[in-house]
Amino acid sequence: MINVNSNDKTEVNNIIANGFLNYSKGAADWLINESIEIGDGYKWPDSVGSSYYYTDLYYGSPGIVTLFSELYKITGKDEYFQYTVGGTEWLIEKAISEAGGYKWPEKEDLPLYYTGLYVGAAGTGESFLNLYKTLSDTFYLEYASGAANWLLSVAVFENQNECKWPSSQYATDYCTDIIYGAAGIGLFLLQMYDLTNNIEYLNYSRYAGNWLINQAKPSGSGYKWEVSNNCPYIYTGFSHGAAGIGYFLAKLFEHTNNSQFLEYAKGAAQWLIDIAVTESGGCKWWSKEGDTPSYATGWCHGPAGTCLLFMKLYQITSENIYLTYAEMGSTWLISLAIPSEGGYKWPHYQGSPNYDTTICHGAAGIGDFFLRMSDLTNEGFYYDYAKGAAEWLKSVADTSAGDYRWATFGSYYTGFSTGTSGIGLFFLRIYNPPDKPNLVCSGNLNWVNVKPNSKIIGYFQVENIGDPNSLLSWEIIERPEWGNWSFTPDSGIDLMANEKINITVELIAPNEKEKAYTGKVILVNSEDLNDTCSIDVSLSTPKNRGVYQLYFIRLLERFIMLERLLNLI
């Protein structure tokens, strides 16, 4: 036992944090032991004893490589760099050049080329994108762009403004969801646009959004979606249902300011609100329409994923109903949390005797959700449940070989969604939460003697003074009601720490004389609505000189008459 002064918890907090890092390292140690050296690289079976080697994010090397790259970024340890590069080498070896881009077989030596974010080229491309961000090597960006370019080449257009993707090349099913379909592919293309400014990536994301809008099925006062043309099932959750599709449409609105995308994102949320089942002061959602109701807890089908849509809409709109439902979903999860080994565990679904560990449908994904709720609300008790998930995961780790691994339904998987690499990344996130940006504004907008109805120009600056690796997304949310204002730009994303940008202001002055105006321009951090800044504004129009000139002329005339009278005396 460690005894410290109760007024100084820094040492204890550091010990706890380092414990989380050690479990992430332990996960990496097990993955090193499971790696198979091949040529200049490494590959991993999807589970112990398996002969399947996947290239996708759900089961395969992309999630494993991401864990090694993140550990290398934090620790600088050469061994993590070795396995980052080595794991990537195998993915590069499996890449097939086609149509100006790259595609990957789902499994080694199985020529089936999926397109999706978790199963397909979009997710493999995202792993290369993350490597580029971590290692700053444009070689990896080439493969991320290659994945995106291949996806553009296999897109199927319904008309000139809508496109969809087959779940795999040459397939006839076109999915809507995050795992296999247009919503997940669209999210990847938005990330590519953010990094490269290639307008084609944004355009195809928009086309995907248009197609999803036309696939929406009105239900009550909202919208729902079938998984695909060949699979008419309707789900609620993030992986296959309305929550994930709505989340993509909300992100698309952030990039395009097209109100129709926001309307349908809100429609997805409204359908979920309409069918929510209240319980224990919170709410829950059934997973699949038409089935005997089953209430999952995890990222894939439970509130840990479903509430991500409500959180995003609250960040965009500041409408309290969305925060309320994110909190209600959290409350229901808290009601199901079972204290165990100094932490918390959750049943796979309500009433299940199984307590899963993974990102997809277990404690790691639920813990990550509570971290996000803590970031959104600054409420410490959400962090307590995230930490509780981590503590339980520590207690059930298999340490028999001196490293750390976690069983999923009796098997030891390696990948991100259902395996040890995803759990290792959760430990890394709770050890080292993402750096937070901090928005500041500088400058002023003060104009005097402005001619009514004239055009004037001003400038001010926006800066991110947050943590070293933070990225700031910002927007202007309020301006004075007088005059006609425009700002270039009026919003932005991914402003790096210590980076400053100039904002150009154009104003058509009010058409009134002899008046003074004041006000503020207010900006907000799009990811933290409590982080705002403002620029003071003042403007005055000149007084009407004609009246005073007439008075002065008449005064001079009187003095002239006075001079003549004096000369007569």
Mean pLDDT of 358-381: 97
Q: Which segments of 318-362 does DSSP mark as H helices, in order?
A: 320-336
The CA distance from 149 to 103, in Å, is 10
- Give this prediction's pTM: 0.79
Is the pLDDT score of 28 beyond 90? Answer: yes
pLDDT in tens, 377-414: 999 999 999 999 999 999 999 999 999 999 998 999 99
Beta strands in 216-348 (DSSP E): 217-219, 222-224, 226-228, 231-234, 277-279, 282-284, 338-340, 343-345
Mean pLDDT of 316-328: 98
The CA distance from 215 to 50, in Å, is 38
Please give the structure tokens belonging to residue 330. 């959290």
Q: Which of 485-489, 515-519, 532-536, 547-551 has the lowest mean pLDDT?
A: 547-551
**What does the DSSP assignment read for 73-122?**
HHH--HHHHHHHHHHHHHHHHH-EEETTEEE--SBTTB---BBSSSSBHH
Domain boundaries, the chain: 439-543
Mean pLDDT of 19-31: 96
Mean pLDDT of 287-298: 97
What is the per-residue pLDDT for 6? 31
DSSP 3-state assignment of 456? strand
Is the pLDDT score of 224 beyond 80? Answer: yes
Look over the chain and give the mean of its residue pLDDT values, rounded to a whole number: 92
Class of domain 439-543: mainly beta
What is the per-residue pLDDT for 15? 46
What is the per-residue pLDDT for 8? 37
Contact (Cβ atoms closer than 8 angstroms) between residue 58 and residue 416: yes
pLDDT in tens, 62-105: 999 999 999 999 999 999 999 999 999 999 999 999 999 999 99
What is the per-residue pLDDT for 559? 54
What is the per-residue pLDDT for 11? 40
What is the per-residue pLDDT for 435? 75
Please give the structure tokens belonging to residue 415. 């990948």
What is the per-residue pLDDT for 565? 42
pLDDT in tens, 431-451: 976 677 899 999 989 999 999
pLDDT in tens, 99-153: 999 999 999 989 999 999 999 999 999 999 999 998 889 999 999 999 999 999 9
What is the per-residue pLDDT for 1? 23
**What does the DSSP assignment read for 439-453?**
EEEE--EEE-SPPTT
Is the pLDDT score of 7 beyond 50? Answer: no
Is the pLDDT score of 553 beyond 60? Answer: no
Confidence grade of residue 544 (pLDDT, cut at 50, 70, 90): low
The CA distance from 233 to 227, in Å, is 6
The CA distance from 165 to 151, in Å, is 8
